[in-house]
Amino acid sequence: MAWPIVKLWLAVQPQQWRALTLPADAPRVEAIGPDPDRVLLLGPGKSSGYGVHTHELGLGGHLARELSALTQRGCSVDIVSDPSLTAADTGVVIRWANLKRFDALVLTLGGGDALRFRSLFAWRRDVTDLLNTIEECGGGAMHAFIVGVAPVDEFVSLPAPLLRIVNHNIANLNAISEQLCSARPGATFVPATASAGSTRVSLDSPTYAHWARTLAPSLARSLTAVTVPPAERPGSVVTLAAFESSTLASKNVSTSLTSIVQSARVLFDTAGAAITFHDQDSYWFTSTSGVGSMHRDEAGAFCSAAFTNRGLVVLEDTFNDQRFADHPWVLQGPRIRFYAGYPVTAPNGDIVGAVCVFDPGPRRFDPSHETLLRELAHRAETAIRTR
């Protein structure tokens, strides 16, 4: 009875989800590392990346980086998503996708089904058929993770009584999905909860990062159980005893670093980005995007002062830090007020540089983006090690 009213309301009233940004890049993300795990992310809504401009900041990107950090292996996530995809349609897509190419499957189901008030009987039948299809197509070894349907308060405009009915229906669908997954060793249900400090679920990068952190531990355990890293082949990777500036003279390395720094600027939506390196003689070499030429000595002084530890460095306002308040990069040149960077290390563990993003105005750093900056640093490390 409620569906015709909801359908009419959705048709005539402006809906926030229709104005949300969607990623324009290819539906595939990678975290650099050996023996990469292959994950298929499938479904409407959360898989699509509503609310972010790149899949790197969506569920796929955050999941790839979280998994890589836990497994110490690479991870590639292929994303197949369509807003109209239903639970019943998903089984057809799974047969087409050739599950044997993947190590794990993550499903984001139910948004459209919940709004259309799919009957509980039909939902139980569809999810049961879906899990059977996964077992059949995955040869019995594929582990499936079903991410629950999120409450729609933040992105669907409905009168309060209808909203309560929809969210109640969502809770019932999630309960059925959780029950069905608990009865199968090859399936895990993961609720789609609000991120820390929030009471409502919104579609944005912090929420995707929260879901990725929730998914990653159990997903990593399932991958570890079936994945055996290959033995290292002598000579397959060029190992540097220590970083040398001559490495940067390679055209392949230079091209890779340029691509990384341009990606950093776009992904973090900052005015500038840079990768700085130093060799044994402390001369600095800089790849930049969004700024003019920057002197080596100034780059070195800024980044070497920032990296007194081996992790993320964030300066939300350089005017408030006595180390940088009178630095040439702050007072002139790029005029940095905001800075975030992650160290680049050589195989022997020495910090040899940094990947950083910066803006001429102060701003807050989203903690969920730390893994993205770390991944860019890892890509720089890979570039200089495999020249």
Reported for 291-298, long-range contacts at CB under 8 A and 24+ positions apart, including other chains, are: 291/333, 291/334, 292/333, 294/329, 294/333, 294/334, 295/328, 298/327, 298/328, 298/329, 298/333
CA separation for the pair 229, 305 (Å, rounded): 38
CA separation for the pair 30, 293 (Å, rounded): 31
Cβ–Cβ under 8 Å, residues 318 and 335: no
Of 172, 174, 169, 212, the C-alpha closest to 191 is 174
CA separation for the pair 200, 326 (Å, rounded): 42
Compute the radius of gyration of the chain from its Cα atoms: 23
What does the pLDDT profile of the chain (387 residues) look like in tens digits? 555 665 565 555 555 666 678 888 889 998 887 788 999 999 887 888 888 889 999 999 999 999 988 988 889 999 998 877 777 788 888 888 788 888 899 999 876 776 676 788 988 999 999 999 998 887 777 899 999 988 876 666 667 777 788 788 889 999 999 999 999 988 999 998 887 767 777 888 888 999 999 999 999 988 875 443 333 333 333 333 445 555 665 677 778 888 888 888 888 888 888 888 776 555 455 667 665 555 555 555 566 666 666 678 888 998 988 878 887 778 877 788 998 988 888 777 777 888 889 888 999 988 778 888 888 888 888 888 765
> Residue 46 burial (CB < 10 Å; 0-12/13-18/19+)?
buried
Cα→Cα distances 92→38, 79, 85, 206, 277, Å:
20, 16, 10, 31, 50
DSSP state of 315: E
Which amino acid is residue 130, in one-letter code? L
Query: Tens digit of pLDDT for each residue in 38-61?
Result: 999 998 878 888 888 899 999 999
Q: What is the dihedral of CA 192, 195, 200, 206, to 10 degrees?
A: -100
Query: Tens digit of pLDDT for each residue in 249-277?
Result: 567 777 888 888 888 888 888 888 888 87
CA separation for the pair 25, 11 (Å, rounded): 29
List of residues 6+ apart from 228 with CB closer than 8 A? none
Cβ–Cβ under 8 Å, residues 118 and 2: no
> Residue 94 burial (CB < 10 Å; 0-12/13-18/19+)?
buried
User: Taking the CA of residue 31 as centre, how many other CA atoms within 13 Å lie in the half-sphere pointing to its CB?
Assistant: 27
Cβ–Cβ under 8 Å, residues 358 and 286: no
Which helix (DSSP H) or strand (DSSP E) does residue 277 occupy? strand 272-278
